[in-house]
Amino acid sequence: MSQASGPSAAAAPGAHLLPSYLQADKLGPWGIYLQQVDRVIPYLGNLARWAETLKRPKRILIVDVPIHMDDGTVAHFEGYRVQHNVSRGPGKGGVRFHQDVTLSEVMALSAWMSVKNAAVNVPYGGAKGGIRVDPKKLSLGELERITRRYTSEIGIIIGPNKDIPAPDVNTNEQIMAWMMDTYSMNTGSTATGVVTGKPVDLGGSLGRREATGRGVFTVGAEAAKHIGLDIAGSRVAIQGFGNVGGVAGKLFAEAGARVVAVQDHGGTIYREAGLDVPALLKHVQETGSVSGFAQAEVITNDQFWDVDCDILIPAALEQQITAANAGRIKARMIIEGANGPTTPEADDILQERNVLVLPDVIANAGGVTVSYFEWVQDFSSFFWDEDEINARLVKIMKGAFAGIWQVAQDNKVSLRTAAFIVACTRILRTRELRGLYP
Ligand code: NAD
């Protein structure tokens, strides 16, 4: 091989050339994740030399998902599975069905899974998947066919020891059951551990459905002690009232908080005295949305950001709290049930205004923690009772939060940067220990 020479030869060929799919979308979710990583690099010491690892997903699979529609036509959908990092263990992360899913979004969500799994120290890397589809427009049969074809297409990179999907926005236990069955039929043996968030009858775990909301509540209650906020009597506003927001709302209400405002895709409702959360959950189950709930007044989606509250829980989609509304938020504490709901500019505004942000990578890690329990139970075919699961979940969440709180205090940084310091250090330490092969 010839000796490299000249100014441009100092770096390895291509070292600074970003793949095309990483160049675009600086303001999108992936761009936001990169900004979050840049903020943490100064705290990584010698491990910072491996930081480029964090900025490049390990593996990206884009698949065509053709299915027979009920009207006899064939429709094609775009599906993704991204494995951001697998240094610490198999990829792990949900599957999202949504009309706005993009590669940038799935890349960012997969990276946040790497960080989250390392932040709570479960032995996984980070992955995420999605299909660009509005599942509300599919019949049940079409939903099953799109799920099964997608699972077959990504079947070449998933598996109980490779990458383990789970539910996310618009996916649920039934979809996990179809994914598990499809993978099992293709591989010729029942592989319960290929997905988590399954029905309990199929090797799912007790407590999994409520786990993310329970984690949101647990971390919120811990943080409230630090800022002298009493959960009983506090006012809570929630954006997104699905798996995460609905369960979190229920637990806060049970602890004596008043859930004063809820927003979902159908609109925003408000009641100063506090909404009747069990009745609202029933209404959403029956109608699909909070809109039309009789015992509340309707406010505009924009007014939601002005609501007088102590705790705000974004539990819907990314980039909801931005420079445009961060200055209006009245809450003392924001608990990120959703992934990536706050932009870096909004983070800065909130920090300046002394609003405590509990970042997604710790606040919503309860789901993946119980997913880890589910996977362990599937491997051992030995199942724990719900009390044991909840107790273990609370122990992990409290321990992880306490560690991150301390790192934030020691370094005088936000909880997000602290969580990234803890997580990225763990990820890059394994990267260094494993070395490069070949
Ligand atoms: P879900 O599908 O059960 O609920 C989503 C909720 O968001 C619904 O109430 C929906 O109406 C609402 N929503 C959708 N678009 C909206 C919009 N434009 N404005 C306001 N509300 C809107 O999904 P989920 O599982 O509860 O996930 C919610 C968030 O939590 C996502 O960011 C997801 O990645 C994150 N999360 C989920 C889990 C989990 O275990 N399910 C774990 C960690 C993080």
Amino acid at site 319: Q
Same domain flag for 358 and 224: yes
Q: How far is the CA of 7 from the centre of ligand 1 (A)?
A: 50
Same domain flag for 256 and 326: yes
Same domain flag for 164 and 240: no
229 falls within a domain: yes
Residues in contact with ligand 1 (CB, 6 Å cut-off): 167-170, 212, 239-245, 263-265, 315-317, 337-339, 364, 367
Q: Domain containing 215: what range? A: 209-363
394-398, long-range: CB within 8 Å, 24+ apart, which pairs?
Answer: 394/214, 394/218, 396/120, 396/121, 396/122, 396/369, 397/120, 397/215, 397/218, 397/219, 397/222, 397/362, 397/365, 397/366, 397/369, 398/218, 398/222
Q: What is the mean pLDDT for each group of 10 consecutive residues in the chain (438 residues)? A: 40 65 74 93 97 96 98 98 98 97 95 98 98 97 98 98 97 98 98 98 97 98 98 98 97 98 98 98 98 97 98 96 98 97 96 97 98 98 97 98 98 97 98 96
Q: Looking at ligand 1, which residue's alpha carbon is closest to its atom 23?
A: 169
Q: How far is the CA of 128 from the centre of ligand 1 (A)?
A: 15
Q: Looking at ligand 1, which residue's alpha carbon is closest to its atom 37?
A: 168
**Contact predicate 430/88, CB 8 Å:** yes
What pLDDT is stored for residue 28 in this prediction? 85
Q: At which residue do the structure tokens 């609202």 appear? A: 280
- Relative to the CA of 167, which ligand 1 atom is closest? 41
What pLDDT is stored for residue 11 in this prediction? 56
316 falls within a domain: yes
The C-alpha atoms of residue 96 and residue 285 are separated, in whole angstroms, by 20
Same domain flag for 213 and 281: yes
Same domain flag for 224 and 357: yes
Same domain flag for 78 and 185: yes
Number of domains observed in the structure of the chain: 3
Same domain flag for 352 and 223: yes
Same domain flag for 229 and 293: yes
Same domain flag for 216 and 320: yes
What pLDDT is stored for residue 21 in this prediction? 72
Residue finishing a domain among 56, 78, 102: 56
The C-alpha atoms of residue 118 and residue 190 are separated, in whole angstroms, by 29
Residue finishing a domain among 191, 221, 254: 191
The C-alpha atoms of residue 376 and residue 366 are separated, in whole angstroms, by 15
Q: At which residue do the structure tokens 């490069």 appear? A: 436
151 falls within a domain: yes
What pLDDT is stored for residue 7 in this prediction? 39
Q: How far is the CA of 425 from the centre of ligand 1 (A)?
A: 29
Q: What radius of gyration, in Å, describes the C-alpha atoms of the chain?
A: 22
Same domain flag for 248 and 326: yes
What pLDDT is stored for residue 27 in this prediction? 72
The set of catalytic residues is: 128
**Contact predicate 266/291, CB 8 Å:** yes
